[in-house]
């Protein structure tokens, strides 16, 4: 089949569903989500069979161990997917919330009401659990969703979506509210990105090349979930044991995430007190430390950091360390090398805490806390579809509210424009 026709047909089904879904009640949506959760568990064996096909193909193609791990479903992971759906069902429905309501001098009442965005396209890579997570959040916020997962997970994703959409329709959701692009051809993504009349928003989740493709080719608005090159700056006079705990957490608690620390900046006034113990603790936790010349003068065993280290998101147990003259130099370094994701200061100084919060440009800025806390659950949003690195619409953890838009409503009794 012509691939443009294939993608357009599916997007049209989602567009038609979106109009109906916008007015479906919270009860119907929540019941559907709970039944989807039950069905995923009840039909686990079908999911595992489909997943086995993906895994076989992945092994045949020689995919990396990490890739195969991300791709793998097991009863525990299926249970987690189901639990995720139940969590989303339990969250308050954002649709219909009146954000603001004012009476104007001419007597008319002007309000802003949350409404669904419409059709959301999600382009993602290998992990099949993203399919259920993303679909459930979009549906809860009243959006139809066009899902385009990684080619290596196509059997698993098809099986998940088969269950979700069958149960969805049985529970009263419109046909087409979850649409899957099962054609693994890369051209399908390119065609999808041109459908600005059918898809309202594209959310890409994945690596740098996916982000680049989407940014360059999309005619549809994009909210990016991009990389994080995050810093922690330990200020002069900081509580050094607090600093050590925060830095260790930010680096090792889960190094493969976008909000993990990649570079540690240390004020020169405390570097010789702080670094030996800090680096020892990091190395004990398996971290390879690479330092600037000043830090190597204090702890000689560490490797030398090069320019490339300041610009690298390791996503691994590796850390770059730099000793700086003062907070200004730290902020300069962050502005130059950071990715405006998660940036932290550890300090006891009120004025510098304020200045760091004001001047550092990032989706989340922390005082005396771990960058790993940049997360929708931690921030109280309930669930998140990811952490937006875009500067418009959603910045930082993107929850149900950010999956809606607003419309103005005006209640009048004959008001005219003078």
Site of interaction with its own copies (CB under 8 A)? 19, 22-23, 102, 104, 108, 110, 112, 115, 117-118, 196, 200-201, 215-216, 219, 221-223, 239, 242, 245-246, 249, 253-254, 335, 353, 357-359, 361-370, 372-375, 378-380, 390-393, 395-397, 405-417
Nearer to its own copies (CB atom), residue 23 or residue 45: 23
Q: How far is the CB of 366 from its own copies (least distance, A)?
A: 4
Contacts of 227 (CB under 8 A, 6+ apart): 208, 258, 313, 339, 341, 389
Q: Is 117 or 324 the residue whose CB approaches its own copies more closely?
A: 117
Q: Which is nearer to its own copies, 351 or 414 (CB)?
A: 414
Q: Could you count the other beta carbons within 10 Å of the beta carbon of residue 353?
A: 16
SS3 311: coil
Nearest approach, Cβ of 248 to its own copies (angstroms)? 8
**Element containing residue 26 per DSSP (H, E):** helix 26-42
Residues paired with 166 in a beta bridge: none
Contact 344, 333 (CB under 8 A): no
Closer to its own copies by Cβ: residue 83 or 357: 357
Sign of the torsion angle spanned by Cα atoms 230, 234, 238, 240: positive
Residue 7 Cβ vs its own copies, minimum distance, rounded to whole Å: 18
Shortest spacing between CB 104 and its own copies, in angstroms: 6
Transcribe 28-50 into DSSP letters: HHHHHHHHHHHHHHHTHHHHHHH
CA distance 270 to 237: 7
* Angstrom distance (rounded) from CA 154 to CA 128: 9
Minimum CB distance to its own copies smaller for 152 or for 235: 235
Contact 326, 237 (CB under 8 A): no
The SS3 call for residue 117 is coil
Residue 164: count other Cβ atoms within 10 Å of its Cβ. 29
Cα–Cα distance, 293 to 299 (Å, whole number)? 10
Query: Min. distance of Cβ 276 from its own copies in angstroms?
Result: 21
Q: Shortest Cβ distance from residue 152 to its own copies (Å)?
A: 28
Q: Taking the complex as a whole, how short is the minimal distance between the CB of residue 362 and its own copies, in angstroms?
A: 6
- Residue 217 belongs to what H/E stretch? helix 208-217
From the CB of 182, what's the least distance to its own copies, in Å? Answer: 27
Nearer of residues 223 and 279 to its own copies, judged by Cβ: 223
Phi and psi at 252, nearest 5°, equal -105, -15
Closest separation between CB of residue 244 and its own copies, Å? 10
Closest to its own copies by CB, 20 or 53:
20
Q: How far is the CB of 33 from its own copies (least distance, A)?
A: 22
Cα–Cα distances in Å, from 235 out to 3, 240, 290, 381?
56, 9, 20, 30
Q: Based on CB atoms, which residue is closest to its own copies, 159 or 363?
A: 363
Distance CA 260, CA 270 (A): 23
Handedness of CA 298, 302, 304, 308 (dihedral sign): negative
CA 31, distance to chain mean position in Å, is 26
- Phi–psi pair at 148, nearest 5 degrees: -135, 95
Q: Give whichever of 150 and 204 is closer to its own copies, judged by the CB atom.
A: 204
When the beta carbons of 61 and 413 are compared against its own copies, the nearer one is 413
């Amino acid at each position: 089949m012509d691939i443009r026709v294939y993608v357009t047909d599916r997007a049209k089904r989602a567009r038609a569903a979106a109009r109906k879904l916008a007015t479906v009640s919270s009860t119907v949506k929540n019941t559907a989500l709970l039944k989807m959760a039950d069905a995923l568990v009840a039909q686990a064996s079908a999911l595992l069979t489909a997943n086995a096909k993906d895994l076989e193909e992945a092994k045949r193609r020689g995919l990396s161990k990490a890739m195969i791990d991300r791709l793998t479903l097991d009863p525990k992971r299926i249970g987690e997917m189901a639990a995720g759906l139940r969590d989303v069902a339990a969250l308050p429905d954002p649709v219909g919330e009146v954000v603001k309501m004012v009476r104007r001098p001419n007597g008319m009442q002007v309000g802003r009401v949350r409404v669904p965005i419409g059709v959301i396209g999600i382009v993602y890579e290998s992990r099949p659990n993203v399919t259920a997570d993303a679909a459930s959040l979009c549906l809860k916020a009243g959006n139809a969703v066009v899902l385009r997962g990684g080619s290596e997970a196509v059997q698993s994703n098809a099986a998940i979506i088969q269950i979700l959409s069958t149960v969805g329709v049985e529970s009263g959701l419109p046909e087409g509210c979850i649409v899957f692009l099962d054609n693994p051809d890369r051209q399908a993504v390119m065609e999808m990105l041109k459908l600005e009349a059918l898809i309202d928003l594209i959310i890409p989740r994945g690596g740098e090349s996916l982000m680049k493709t989407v940014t360059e080719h999309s005619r549809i608005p994009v909210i990016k979930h991009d990389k994080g090159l995050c810093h922690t700056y330990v200020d002069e006079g900081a509580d050094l044991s607090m600093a050590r705990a925060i830095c260790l957490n930010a680096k090792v608690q889960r190094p493969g995430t976008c909000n993990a620390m990649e570079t540690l900046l240390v004020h020169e006034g405390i570097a010789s007190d702080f670094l030996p113990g800090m680096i020892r603790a990091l190395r004990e936790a398996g971290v390879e430390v690479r330092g600037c010349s000043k830090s190597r003068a204090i702890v000689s065993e560490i490797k030398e950091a090069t320019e490339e280290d300041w610009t690298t998101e390791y996503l691994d147990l590796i850390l770059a360390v730099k000793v700086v003259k003062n907070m200004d130099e730290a902020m300069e370094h962050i502005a130059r090398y950071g990715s405006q994701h998660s940036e932290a200061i550890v300090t006891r100084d009120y004025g510098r805490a304020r200045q760091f919060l004001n001047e550092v440009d990032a989706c989340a800025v922390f005082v005396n806390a771990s960058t790993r806390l940049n997360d929708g659950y931690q921030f109280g949003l309930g669930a998140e579809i990811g952490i937006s690195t875009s500067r418009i619409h959603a910045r930082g953890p993107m929850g149900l509210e950010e999956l809606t838009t607003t419309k103005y409503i005006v209640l009048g009794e004959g008001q005219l424009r003078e």
